[in-house]
Structure 1
Amino acid sequence: MTYIHELPDWPNLRWCDEQLAQPLAAVRHRQGRLIGHMEALGFPLRAEAVLRALTEDVLKSSEIEGEILDREQVRSSIARRLGMDIGGLVQADRNVEGVVEMMLDATQNYAQPLTAERLFGWHAALFPTGRSGMSRITVGAWRTAEAGPMQVVSGPIGRERVHYEAPASERLDADMSRFLDWFETAAPDPVLKAGVAHLWFVTIHPFDDGNGRIARAIADLALARAEGTAQRFYSMSAQIRTERKAYYDMLESTQKGDLDITPWLLWFIGCLDRAFDGAEVILASVMRKARFWESVAGQPLNERQRKVVNRLLDGFEGKLTNAKWAAITKASSDTALRDINDLRRRGILEKEPAGGRSTSYSLVLPES
């Protein structure tokens, strides 16, 4: 098997501008309209939309790699770092803080040059203990020969399937130097640049672990440059997570193909376009939350009630029960029940049809 990085002309990647012209123009037009629409919102709504998009980006980029992070920790870490007062902040684990730190550096500081040192900092933030799971890895530096070949493998032990083998570690200094120089000096369309950079970096696979998450952060940085704003209103990683199998299949076929990466770029542009659909969902959710708080303006809610109501508006997972209310607010069961019954009397919460021990409650949302 010959991989793309073993071809004589690597890394002279090429693509067909004619095939890309129409979908690229369409996605760029939609991108501009989305940014304009979001920036026309008032500051509080815009900040809430950014918080939601960044939270999804961090959660889903990790989820693609099989790592499930705590949503409230991620949300709180982002809000704290952006100086947003959302109430009910929770303490985040250091691995959560590391992922958030990397993603915010990529998107909020998008104009700063992408350098090896910056990538080393991102990698160190992702692996604060110097381990990936139980295994010690090289952190904050390119992988070394001691770790053996860098392979992407699936399947049970003894029956593994090798999907891809990255360049040998001896090539990494030269390969990464060439990539970073291209990233800062080449001038293709900025959206195309994001797609090319994603593929090129993940093909080099320069680290022992975390390459996928860093590749997606690099793409987000390039997209922020394309839009000229640090404010993120959509999540490319969330869309890639939805299309995870197609993502890996397209990566594998491209890395085993020739230097014409037009099919990869067509998929990347299409994925970005579908990610914009997610921005519409985020906007609808933010507007729904704003309408709710307008509908209860003037009604006093205590801190516990505000905390749980905001959790429900932000996409509470599962059913809200008395026990969950008590756990979220760190209150007694009796206090939780009093809070709930108070909101029910005011028509803010309603009991769902199932009763008994499974009694659960939902918000009464104002009509659109």
Structure 2
Amino acid sequence: MQNEKIWIWQDDKYPYFRYDKDTLSQSLLSVSQNSGRLDGILTMLGVQKSNTLKVESSINEIVTSSQIEGELLDRQSVRSSILKKISGEITKKDTSTKHTDGLVAMLMDSSTNSSALTIKRLNGWHNTLFPDGYSGLYKINVAKFREEEMSVVSYKGGREKTHYIAPPPKSLAKEMDCFLDFINESKEEAYTKAAIAHFWFVTIHPYDDGNGRIARAITNYILSKELGLNDGYYSISTAIVEDKKSYYNILEHTQKLLYNKNLEITEWIVWHTEMINKAIEISLQQVQISVQKANFWDKAREYSLNIRQIKVLNKLLDAGTDGFEGGLNTKKYLSIAKISTATAKRDIADLVSKNLIEQVEGTAGRNVRYVVMF
């Protein structure tokens, strides 16, 4: 039927979304508790260590947010852009690009600028995503709303499947005015508000491209402005990218009236809140690793270590508990340090004698493995 209503924005009650606060309570309690834990640990760590974590989380957020949309960024370029933004200086080792500079500018603005969100500001963010006016090989409208119909489709076995069709271009100005009124005026609980904003923005889909990344920046903006805790110390996109399939599945399920006849978005809010909680838990793990590394080097300082040993230990520590599968062996030491087998064995034996690494229980001979002693 030509006039059949298929998408959530076609419902007469849109955009008055429904959600059950009682169902949300457990997820909201869990994320609030973990946020408090992270805030307490950051206070204990002090400014310098906290800032190091913030840089790493910011890099993760930029790289993984682009990865969700199929764009692979050079991590070192993003790091250079962040350090340049923080210090205002360009070093000889700078590998930043105009693109990564723009992505950093958008993240910083969304995380630190609490002024009202406006169309002008969103257009500025969009411009940072596409500074040359192209998305891949295609010329797109930059810093202004799309002028054509938009649909999300996939192809499998030669068949086309439509996952979503967005509101028509003629309705975008009105849609965005209503959306921004919600962002700037709503007193809704922060995590719930962030989830609604994320869903609503990608449902409107106002731009030719970049809507997902801007939606996640809006999430950062809301949480940073309204909670003021841990802003920039965890990466929401890092959690989402690990379960990207469910991200798209729950979006499609919530946007279709076939599955959602009452503008019911409780399931989406729970999922979104749990992703934030997962992001905070990842950050807590990173903090724990950072503390372990600091404590390890405090212990190691009393020993005289050669450059090779320091390099290998740093590799082990940076890899974390799962990074060196099976632990360190002579072959891996050789690969990292670029030395002879005899020298590698002497270095390893010396590290064992100093109680900096230990042999993995049950390994011996050619299969012997070592792990760091924290």
TM range (shorter): 0.7 to 0.9
8 A Cα contact 2:59 2:75, kept in partner: yes
Q: Is the 8 A contact 2:65 2:213 kept in 1?
A: yes
Matched residues in 2 for 1:42 and 1:241: separation?
30
Structure 1 Cα separation of the partners of residues 65 and 351 of structure 2: 39
2:194 is the counterpart of 1:190: no
How many aligned residue pairs are there? 348
Residue range with higher mean Cα deviation, 121-130 or 282-291: 282-291
Aligned counterparts of 2:279 and 2:350: Cα–Cα separation in 1: 38
Deviates more, 1:135-144 or 1:157-166: 157-166
Instruction: Give a deviation string over 1:210-268, Cα, whole Å, max 9, x none.
Output: 10011011011111123314642221111111111111111001111231211111111
Amino acid at match of 1:249: N
For 2:281, the equivalent position in structure 1 comes to 277
Q: Is the 8 A contact 1:151 1:163 kept in 2?
A: yes
Q: Identity rate of aligned residues, in percent?
A: 36
The answer for the alignment partner of 2:127 in structure 1 is 124
Aligned residue for 1:2, secondary structure, equals: coil
| Aligned residue in 2 for 1:286 | 290
Tell me how far apart the structure 1 counterparts of residues 85 and 14 of structure 2 sit (CA, whole Å): 40
Following the alignment from structure 2 to structure 1, what is the Cα–Cα distance between the partners of residues 216 and 77? 21
Task: String of CA shifts for 1:120-145, please: whole Å, max 9, x gaps.
Answer: 11111111111001000001111113
**Does the alignment pair 1:264 with 2:253?**
no
CA distance in 2, matches of 1:88, 1:299: 33
Given residue 167 of structure 1, which amino acid in structure 2 is its aligned partner? P
- Paired letter, 1:154: S
- Equivalent residue for 1:355? none
| TM-score normalised by length of structure 2 | 0.80
| Structure 1 residue corresponding to 2:42, chosen from 38, 44, 51 | 38
Change (3 A) 1:305 1:254: same
Q: Which residue of 2 aligns with 1:175?
A: 175
Is 1:80 matched up with 2:84? yes
The structure 2 residue matched to 1:135, chosen from 135, 138, 143, is 138
How has the CA–CA distance of structure 1 residues 314 and 99 changed in structure 2, closer, same or farther, with 3 Å as cutoff? farther
Q: Identify if the C-alpha distance between structure 1 residues 45 and 16 changes in structure 2 by more than 3 Å, giving closer, same or farther.
A: same
Of 11, 15, 28, which residue of structure 2 is paired with 1:7?
A: 11
- Which residue of structure 1 aligns with residue 25 of structure 2? 21
Q: 1:135 to 1:241 in 2, by over 3 A?
A: same
Match of 1:354 in 2: none
1:147-296 paired onto structure 2 within 5 Å: 149-155=149-155, 159-229=159-229, 231-256=231-256, 257=260, 258-296=262-300
Report matched runs for 1:300-315 at 5 Å. 313-315=317-319
SS at match of 1:163: strand
CA contact (8 A) 1:88 1:307 kept: no
Question: What do residues 30-53 of structure 1 show as CA deviations (whole Å, max 9, x unaligned)?
Answer: 222221222221222211111121
Question: What is the match of residue 113 of structure 1?
Answer: 116
Q: Deviations over 1:329-368 (max 9, x none)?
A: xxxx89xx9xx99987974999xxxxxxxxxxx9974x22
- CA distances 1:270-328 after superposition (whole Å, capped 9, x unpaired): 22222222112211221233234434448899999989976765449899788888xxx
Amino acid at match of 1:219: T
The alignment yields a C-alpha RMSD, in angstroms, of 3.7
Distance in 2, matches of 1:304 and 1:185, equals 58
The 3 A distance-change label for structure 1 pair 309 and 106 is: farther
Match of 2:55 in 1: 51
Residue deviations 1:9-60, cap 9 Å, x none? 2111121112222322232222222212222212222111111211111111
Structure of greater Rg: 2
Q: Output the CA distance in 1 between the equivalents of 2:136 and 2:142.
A: 13
Equivalent positions of 1:323-342 (< 5 A) are none
Question: In structure 1, what is the Cα distance between the partners aligned to 2:146 and 2:86?
Answer: 32
Contact between 1:48 and 1:286, CA under 8 Å: does it hold in 2?
no
Q: CA offsets per residue over residues 58-81 of structure 1, 9 Å max, x none?
A: 111111111111122222322332
Distance 2:92 2:42 in 1: 26
Q: 1:158 to 1:11 in 2, by over 3 A?
A: same
Q: Secondary structure at the match of 2:159?
A: coil
Amino acid at match of 2:15: P
Q: Does 1:91 align with 2:89?
A: no
- The alignment partner of 1:69 has SS state of coil
Contact kept, 8 Å, 1:152 with 1:163, in 2: the verdict is yes
Relative to 1, partners in 2 of residues 1:243 and 1:116: Cα closer, same or farther, differing over 3 Å?
A: same
CA contact (8 A) 1:137 1:208 kept: yes
- SS for the counterpart of 1:54 is helix
Tell me, in whole angstroms, the C-alpha distance in 1 between the residues paired with 2:110 and 2:370.
36
Instruction: Return the alpha-carbon distance in structure 2 between the equivalents of residues 106 and 346 of structure 1.
Output: 49
Runs of at least 5 residues in structure 2 that lack an aligned partner in the other structure:
325-330, 358-368
Matches of 1:342 and 1:89, distance apart in 2: 34
